[in-house]
Amino acid sequence: MIIIPARMASTRFPNKILAKIDGVPMVVKTAKAVKDIDKVVIATDSEEVVKISNDYGFKAVLTSKNHKSGTDRINEAAAKLGLDKNEIIINVQADEPFIEKEVVKKVFVLTKKNLQNENILMNSAYKLVEKEEAKDPNLVKVVTDSSNIALYFSRSLIPYPRGDTKKYKGHLGIYGFSRKNLEKFCSLEPAPLEDIEKLEQLRALYHGYKVALVEVKTESFGIDTPHDLQRTLKSKGL
């Protein structure tokens, strides 16, 4: 199942998930992009988003306004839906309206591969980016070991380029869990690093769990600001 966390309150871009893209609210555009992969549910803190989702034919679950992360939000939705502990759940962010199906499928395959590995709590993806793009703090960077297991995520430029570093790993906000591991993640205490960087995946690393990643090729990126939206619409000719 694909669950899209859709929080209305955004400090950098208020109500961004309802911003129109090609005449469609962003959250709905995202849901339409992935609907052929698996069943899609939208987890939101807004009755307005529930109604809009239903109007476009998508199921929505009303969740608490107090969640610290999107993953906490989809965990509540999964509980309300009564999903089996081995159900694979893919968390696709509501601000990824141009995400390619192939990217989401790769995270699904990786999640399925690691389903019985007790040490791997989360599965995700990254793309290779140039240094100039990597300087943007809105693009999260990740460094990995030789098996593509995350060592650290940061909004800062990592690794620090003392040498001739040309390519960086830009993290994509897509996560794959089993229902059991999703529940485990959300039972962990929020981590100081998570609060400092405002990156929920650091909660897993802080508590000694692993995050597995797969490299993907994508032209998509999360829309964090009105400038991002205008840049995206221009690049897409919309």
Q: Report the distance separating Cα 154 and Cα 177, nearest Å.
A: 21
Q: What is the pTM of this model?
A: 0.91
23, 97 Cβ separation under 8 angstroms: no
CATH of the domain at 34: 3.90.550.10
Given a cut of 90, whether residue 224 has pLDDT beyond it is no
Give the other-Cβ count within 10 Å of 150's Cβ. Answer: 22
Q: How far is CA 13 from the centre of its chain?
A: 17
| Total domains in the fold of the chain | 1
Given a cut of 90, whether residue 235 has pLDDT beyond it is no
144, 170 Cβ separation under 8 angstroms: no
H or E segment and range at residue 80: helix 70-81
Q: Which residues pair with 215 in a beta bridge?
A: 126
Mean pLDDT of 6-22: 82
144 three-state secondary structure: strand
Given a cut of 90, whether residue 45 has pLDDT beyond it is yes
Which residue range is the domain that position 150 belongs to? 2-235
Write out pLDDT tens, residues 164-174: 888 999 999 89
Give the pLDDT score at 11.
Answer: 64
